[in-house]
C-alpha cells in the first residue's frame, strides 16, 4: 500500500474520507468538500441524522457536483478525548470503507481537523498508520479468488497542512513493517513455516543491521537444553534456537531480552489435542512471531537501545520417538522437570530459552511472550494479554506501554501458592499444576528459570495473537499483537 502526505487540493478521483468531531464546527476540509458537492454532503448528513460518535460512519455515493464517487464521514467523537489510538482506529475505519469499494485510491481530508492530545503532524501520521494496518491481507495461497472479492485500493493519501506529518510517520512506518512481519509469520501454515524456515526468516533481519545467531540441535544438546529438545523429539523437523541482536545503545548497557515461544505446530504430542480446532495450532508460535516483528521494528527505526530477541522453535508431534507423560528431562539450568502433560510444552521451550538468554547476554530485564494457556482466554477472553510479574515497577512500565500502544495487558496473580502447585514427587518440578489457576502455575514454572536480581515478566498472549473477527486496524487472522507493545516499552524506558 502506497502512503503519501500532501497539502495539495483534494483530488478529483478516488474516495474522500472526512473525519468529523462530534458537536464541533465543520473543518476547512469538510466545508471545501461540501461546497464542491453543492451542499450534498451536509444535506446527506442532516437527512441521515448522522452523529459523529466514535465508530459511526456515513457513506455518501456520488454527492452532487463532486466528481469523486464516494465521500465517507468518519465519526471521531469528542475533540478533547481524541488521542493517538483514536487516530489509528479512525484511520483503520476510513481505510476499511475505501477497501469495500472498487476505488484504487482514497484521501483523508484533514485540513482543519486538529486538536485533542496530538499535534497536527502526529495526528496525520497516526491516521496513516491505522489505515495501513487495516489494509493487510494474507492471500498468497489464493489462486482462484474472484476479481470482485479482491480489494483494488493501492494508494492512500493524507491531505494535511502539517509539514512534519511525513517525519512523524517514519517510525510508525517501521512499526507497521514489524506488525506485518508478525502477521505473516502467524498466518503461515505449519507445512511452510517450520523451525528451520522460521530461522531463515529471522536471518532476513540482517538487512536491518540485526546480528542473527541460529543454534541447531547438536549445539543445544551440548548446552544441556533437554527441556526444549524434549518437546521437538517426536518431529522430523529439527528444533532451533535463534537470537536476534540489536545493539543501538551504550556498549556498557546490558541488553533487554525479549523471549518468544515458537511452537510452529502443536498437536499436543502424546497428550494429543482434540481434532476440532487443532488447525489453529499453526499460530502457537505467536510469541516468537511478536518478538521477531518487534526486533524488525526496533532495528528499522534505529532504536538507541540494546535489545536481543530470543526465540525457541520446535514442532510438537506424537511419533514413536515423542516425549511421554511421566518422562523427566534436565533443563540447561540443571533443574529437572517431570513432564506430566506433553501439551504443556511451551513452558518447556521457554525454560531453556530464558536461561540461555540470561547466561549469554547477562540481561537484567527479561520479557517473555507466549500463546501459553487456554486458561488465560477463560479469564480475559480476547481483550487483554495476561501479565505475570512480581516486579511492581516493571508491571507499571508494561501496563503504560500497553495503554499507549493499544496492546492491552491485565496483571494476573503470581504467588508462592502457585509455585507450590508445580512441586513434583520425583523431580525438581512438574510441568503442570492442578485444575485451577493454570495460567498462574505456568508463570510460576517459568519463574523457576529466572536468575536472582533479574526483572522479569511473562505475557500470556493466547487470546490476542489471532482474531476471529475484524477489528478496527486489523482484518481477521494474525493480529501482530505484542509488536507495538514491545516497541513502546523499549522506547519509553530504555532510550
| Mean pLDDT along residues 163-187 | 97
Q: Give the bridge partners for 477, in sequence order.
A: 467
**What pLDDT, in 10s, does the model give residues 393-451?**
999 999 999 999 999 999 999 999 999 999 999 999 999 998 899 999 999 999 999 99
State residue 9's pLDDT score. Answer: 77
Percentage of the chain with pLDDT > 70? 100
**What pLDDT, in 10s, does the model give residues 193-205?**
999 999 999 999 9
Residue 347 catalytic?
yes
* CB of 323 closer than 8 Å to CB of 342: yes
Instruction: Say which of 273, 364, 408, 451 is annotated catalytic.
Output: 273
Q: Please indicate, yes or no, if residue 187 is contained in any of the structural domains.
A: yes
* pLDDT value at 149 more than 90: no
- How would residue 274 be classed by pLDDT, with cut points 50, 70 and 90? very high
Same domain for 370 and 418, yes or no, is yes
User: CA 25 → CA 22, 71, 124, 347, distances in Å?
Assistant: 9, 19, 19, 55
| Mean pLDDT along residues 139-148 | 87
| Mean pLDDT along residues 222-235 | 98
State residue 23's pLDDT score. Answer: 85
State residue 115's pLDDT score. Answer: 79
Q: Please indicate, yes or no, if residue 167 is contained in any of the structural domains.
A: no
State residue 147's pLDDT score. Answer: 81
Last residue of one domain, picked from the residues 101, 135, 162: 162
Same domain for 361 and 455, yes or no, is yes
* pLDDT value at 379 more than 90: yes
| Mean pLDDT along residues 98-119 | 93
**What pLDDT, in 10s, does the model give residues 44-76?**
999 999 999 999 999 999 999 999 999 999 999
State residue 148's pLDDT score. Answer: 79
User: H or E element: which one contains 4?
Assistant: strand 2-6
Rounded Cα–Cα distance for residues 320 and 343 (Å): 16
* pLDDT value at 78 more than 80: yes
Q: Please indicate, yes or no, if residue 157 is contained in any of the structural domains.
A: yes
Last residue of one domain, picked from the residues 162, 184, 209: 162
Rounded Cα–Cα distance for residues 115 and 162 (Å): 13
Tell me the backbone φ, ψ of residue 24, rounded to 5 degrees: -125, 160
Residue 237 catalytic?
no
Domain residues for the domain of 36 are 2-162
Domain total of the chain: 2
Same domain for 18 and 142, yes or no, is yes
Q: Please indicate, yes or no, if residue 168 is contained in any of the structural domains.
A: no
Same domain for 132 and 191, yes or no, is no
Instruction: Say which of 282, 347, 448, 491 is annotated catalytic.
Output: 347
Q: What is the CATH number of the domain that holds 232?
A: 3.40.630.10
The pTM (predicted TM-score) of the whole model is 0.97
Same domain for 313 and 430, yes or no, is yes
Rounded Cα–Cα distance for residues 125 and 165 (Å): 5
Same domain for 306 and 447, yes or no, is yes
Q: Using CA atoms in the order 191, 194, 196, 200, what is the torsion angle rounded to 10 degrees?
A: 90
**What pLDDT, in 10s, does the model give residues 3-20?**
999 987 788 899 999 999
Q: What is the CATH number of the domain that holds 115?
A: 3.40.220.10
Q: Give the bridge partners for 212, in sequence order.
A: 244
Same domain for 145 and 184, yes or no, is no
Last residue of one domain, picked from the residues 162, 190, 222: 162
Q: β-strands 365-370, 2-6: how paired?
A: unpaired
* pLDDT value at 479 more than 80: yes
Q: Please indicate, yes or no, if residue 169 is contained in any of the structural domains.
A: no
Answer positive or negative: Cα dihedral of 113, 118, 122, 128. Answer: negative
User: CA 357 → CA 55, 158, 308, 323, distances in Å?
Assistant: 43, 43, 8, 25
E strands, 196-339, in order = 211-215, 240-247, 256-266, 306-316, 327-330, 336-339
Grid coordinates of 188: 503461515
State residue 116's pLDDT score. Answer: 80
Min mean pLDDT across 109-118, 133-142, 352-361, 386-395 is at 109-118
Grid coordinates of 180: 506485518
Amino acid at each position: 500500500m502506497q502512503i503519501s502526505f500532501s497539502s495539495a487540493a483534494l483530488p478529483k478521483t478516488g474516495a474522500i474520507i472526512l473525519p468529523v468531531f462530534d458537536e464541533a464546527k465543520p473543518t476547512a476540509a469538510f466545508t471545501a468538500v461540501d461546497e464542491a458537492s453543492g451542499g450534498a454532503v451536509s444535506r446527506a448528513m442532516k437527512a441521515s441524522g448522522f452523529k459523529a460518535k466514535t465508530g459511526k460512519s456515513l457513506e455518501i455515493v456520488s454527492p452532487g457536483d463532486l466528481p469523486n464517487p464516494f465521500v465517507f464521514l468518519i465519526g471521531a467523537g469528542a475533540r478533547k478525548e481524541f488521542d493517538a489510538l483514536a487516530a489509528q482506529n479512525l484511520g483503520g475505519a476510513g481505510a476499511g470503507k475505501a477497501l469495500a469499494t472498487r476505488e484504487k485510491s482514497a484521501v483523508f481530508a484533514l485540513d482543519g481537523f486538529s486538536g485533542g492530545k496530538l499535534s497536527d503532524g502526529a495526528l496525520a501520521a497516526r491516521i496513516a498508520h491505522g489505515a495501513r494496518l487495516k489494509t493487510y491481507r494474507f492471500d498468497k495461497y489464493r489462486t482462484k479468488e474472484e476479481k470482485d472479492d479482491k480489494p483494488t485500493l493501492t494508494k492512500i493519501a493524507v491531505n494535511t497542512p502539517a509539514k512534519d506529518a511525513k517525519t512523524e510517520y517514519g517510525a510508525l512506518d517501521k512499526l507497521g513493517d514489524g506488525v506485518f512481519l508478525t502477521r505473516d509469520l502467524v498466518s503461515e501454515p505449519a507445512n511452510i513455516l517450520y523451525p528451520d524456515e522460521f530461522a531463515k526468516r529471522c536471518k532476513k533481519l540482517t538487512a536491518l543491521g540485526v546480528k542473527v545467531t541460529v543454534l541447531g540441535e547438536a549445539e543445544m544438546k551440548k548446552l544441556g537444553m533437554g527441556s526444549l529438545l524434549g518437546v521437538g523429539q517426536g518431529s522430523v523437523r529439527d528444533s532451533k534456537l535463534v537470537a536476534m541482536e540489536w545493539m543501538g545503545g551504550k556498549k556498557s548497557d546490558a541488553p533487554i531480552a525479549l523471549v518468544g515461544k515458537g511452537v510452529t505446530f502443536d498437536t499436543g504430542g502424546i497428550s494429543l489435542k482434540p481434532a476440532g480446532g487443532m488447525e489453529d495450532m499453526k499460530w502457537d508460535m505467536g510469541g516468537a512471531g511478536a518478538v521477531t516483528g518487534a526486533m524488525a521494528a526496533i532495528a528499522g527505526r534505529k532504536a538507541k537501545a540494546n535489545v536481543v530477541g530470543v526465540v525457541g522453535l520446535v514442532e510438537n508431534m506424537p511419533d514413536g520417538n515423542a516425549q511421554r507423560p511421566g518422562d523427566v528431562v534436565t533443563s540447561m539450568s540443571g533443574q529437572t522437570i517431570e513432564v506430566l502433560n506433553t501439551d504443556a510444552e511451551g513452558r518447556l521451550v521457554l525454560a531453556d530459552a530464558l536461561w540461555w538468554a540470561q547466561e549469554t547476554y547477562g540481561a537484567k530485564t527479561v520479557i517473555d511472550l507466549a500463546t501459553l494457556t487456554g486458561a488465560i482466554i477463560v479469564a480475559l477472553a480476547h481483550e487483554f494479554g495476561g501479565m505475570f510479574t512480581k516486579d511492581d515497577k516493571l508491571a507499571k512500565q508494561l501496563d503504560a506501554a500497553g495503554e499507549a500502544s493499544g496492546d492491552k495487558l491485565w496483571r494476573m496473580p503470581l504467588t508462592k501458592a502457585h509455585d507450590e502447585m508445580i512441586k513434583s514427587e520425583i523431580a525438581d518440578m512438574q510441568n503442570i499444576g492442578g485444575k485451577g489457576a493454570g495460567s498462574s502455575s505456568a508463570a510460576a514454572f517459568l519463574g523457576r528459570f529466572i536468575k536472582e536480581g533479574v526483572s522479569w515478566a511473562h505475557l500470556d498472549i493466547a487470546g490476542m495473537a489471532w482474531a476471529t473477527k475484524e477489528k478496527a486496524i486489523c482484518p481477521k487472522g494474525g493480529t501482530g499483537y505484542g509488536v507495538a507493545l514491545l516497541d513502546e516499552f523499549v522506547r519509553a524506558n530504555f532510550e
